[in-house]
Structure 1
Amino acid sequence: MLSTKLERMGSGAGFIAALDQSGGSTPRALKLYGIEEDRYSNDDEMFDLVHAMRERIVTSPAFTSEHILAAILFEKTMDRTFAGQPAADYLWDTKKILPILKVDKGLADPANGVRLMKPIGDLDDLLERAKKAHIFGTKMRSVVLSANAEGIASNVEQQFAFARQISDAGLIPILEPEIDIKAPDKEESEQILLAEIMERLATEIFDLPIMFKVSIPTVDNFYAPLIDHPSVLRVVALSGGYSRDEADERLARNHRLIASFSRALTEGLTESMTDEEFNAALAASIDAIYKASIT
């Protein structure tokens, strides 16, 4: 079964749907969906509303394995159901879409031009729960704010340390050292980041392949060496604040780099839409992102 899933992720045509908004980003996601903060009075109510949004997306007839390889879930989503099935089982058993779990706990304060991840103290327990829930892999995000070589090195070191722990548990880690698209020295940051990653890959051996999620690079096809590395299953890109149209246009110029979009995927979807309107808008979004991902 794992070999089938690895083949699907490694060579399948499509992209990853990121549906992993956490506590910090959920209010904005709900507002874009047309749900204001006065609709909920606590976190439980907020997460119920965002889960209803996610369930509407994944159960839509537009959300299929023809275009989507995997979906990234928030921890609370993993513990819930879609259409009456455990969330991860619904994705794979019903839709043939691989379930991936966001495992980071958010970002630490900026230091040395980066924002590292906060400690993940319960990671072993979370990985065990993920395996029992039939999760395929994990994702963890940190951020590069400027071309600070020391900070970027510490960022990559932290990503690889967690990736080791995740791989040893039998899951496929997605390392996400995002570079802020507004960084004034973004291109230089990318050069430092790629050099650090390639140096690590030259010396660190994993039993399972690993993946990377990166910001769409300044120079087209910049991450080709990473995509070609034998230890790397797939390299995916976040939309990073670009509009969907701009993210799609930039992504399409980067061959074999596929999308892992969140906000850009759901752009234009609102709670008030009829099911027909919602499904048509989602289908158009998915089709555009898919076309940008298969170049």
Structure 2
Amino acid sequence: MRQDQLEKMKNGKGFIAALDQSGGSTPKALAAYGVSEDKYSNEDEMFDLVHEMRTRIITSPAFDSDYILGAILFEQTMDREIEGKYTADYLAENKGIVPFLKVDKGLAEESNGVQMMKPITDLDETLRRANERHIFGTKMRSVIKEANPDAIKAVVDQQFEIGKQIIAAGLVPIIEPEVDINSPEKEKCEELLKTEILSHLESLRDDEPVMLKLTIPTKANLYKDLIDHSKVVRAVALSGGYSADAANEKLKANDGLIASFSRALSQDLNVNQTDEEFNAVLKDAVKAIYEASV
């Protein structure tokens, strides 16, 4: 773990860009960008196109470390290059932006009102490669839909158990137990989640730092104790299906919580925009998310 990157994540001003749409969500991300499914005939072509999109975002002058602290990558992106450098090296060296890697394999079927993570069978191998590629931290997502105390405990237990394996490999895990924004019990879920996360944070050693990625809570500043906790490097918020404007507004009400938005960052970008148009649209999105984060 690089100390300069740890310092930047702890104290820097800005937000984390989520560029980690995986195989399942890539067609949707491409469609939103104006690339329809008839533009590619197999998965390889699809991944080439999405890498072109991500390269365009990352190399844009608007993708700037004055506003962006880190970027979360999909595994394929980690193994690809931008201007002759592996993506994480390009981010760190050319942009001064801290690279993260999405390591989960997606969600299991819903059970007891939650979706746990599917088993991550090759995690050790992935972490070894992440270290080779100079990745700083990882991200993994579960989803909570109902206020079921035992199920929420199981979600958080799983997150921290895998988190410790990631810490042991020298990386900083982003623990992401998302609460579904459409849950009728959202606020109750958040109360239960906070209690579970706190108890796990208390049991971590001083040399076991984590980050948290959380749905923006219904009750503003509910997570302040988590954000300020000595074991938490940084707490970031997911947009969770809110529009960019709504996500930014809600984020502003929570002190110390910064954005880690995906859709809100890229929703107005289009493959047919000129570079000038593209950069201007991205710059506006970056600035709006930055303002909401600081």
TM range (shorter): over 0.9
- Does the CA contact (< 8 Å) of 1:190 and 1:217 recur in 2? yes
Cα offset for 1:204?
Answer: 2.9
Q: What residue is the counterpart of 2:173 in the other structure? A: 173
Cα offset for 1:40?
Answer: 1.1
Structure 1 residues 32-51: aligned runs within 5 Å? 32-51=32-51
Cα offset for 1:240?
Answer: 0.3
Structure 1 residues 55-74: aligned runs within 5 Å? 55-74=55-74
Q: What residue is the counterpart of 1:29 in the other structure? A: 29
In 2, distance between residues paired with 1:203 and 1:268? 43
In 2, distance between residues paired with 1:173 and 1:244? 26
Q: Following TM superposition, where does structure 1 have runs of at least 4 consecutive aligned residues deviating by more than 3 angstroms?
A: none
- Does the CA contact (< 8 Å) of 2:204 and 2:231 recur in 1? no
Q: What residue is the counterpart of 1:272 in the other structure? A: 272
In 2, distance between residues paired with 1:228 and 1:37? 44
Cα offset for 1:246?
Answer: 0.6
- Matched residue type, 2:111: A
Question: How many equivalent residue pairs?
Answer: 294
Q: What residue is the counterpart of 1:253 in the other structure? A: 253
**3-state SS in 2 of match to 1:261:** coil
Cα offset for 1:275?
Answer: 0.3
Cα offset for 1:116?
Answer: 0.5
Matched, 1:141 2:145: no
- Does the CA contact (< 8 Å) of 1:168 and 1:207 recur in 2? no
In 1, distance between residues paired with 2:53 and 2:204? 40
**3-state SS in 2 of match to 1:89:** helix
In 1, distance between residues paired with 2:145 and 2:179? 6
Larger deviation, residues 202-211 vs 56-65:
202-211
Structure 1 residues 224-263: aligned runs within 5 Å? 224-263=224-263
Q: What residue is the counterpart of 2:196 in the other structure? A: 196
- Matched residue type, 1:54: R
Q: What stretches of structure 2 of length at least 5 have no aligned partner?
A: none
Normalised to the residue count of structure 2, the TM-score between the two structures is 0.99
- Matched residue type, 2:70: A
- Does the CA contact (< 8 Å) of 1:70 and 1:99 recur in 2? yes
Structure 1 residues 42-191: aligned runs within 5 Å? 42-191=42-191
Cα offset for 1:208?
Answer: 3.3
Calculate the aligned-residue CA RMSD, in Å. Answer: 0.8
- Matched residue type, 1:227: I
In 1, distance between residues paired with 2:206 and 2:105? 24
**3-state SS in 2 of match to 1:46:** helix
**What do residues 169-198 of structure 1 show as CA deviations (whole Å, max 9, x unaligned)?**
000000000000000000000000000111
Normalised to the residue count of structure 1, the TM-score between the two structures is 0.98
In 1, distance between residues paired with 2:84 and 2:278? 21
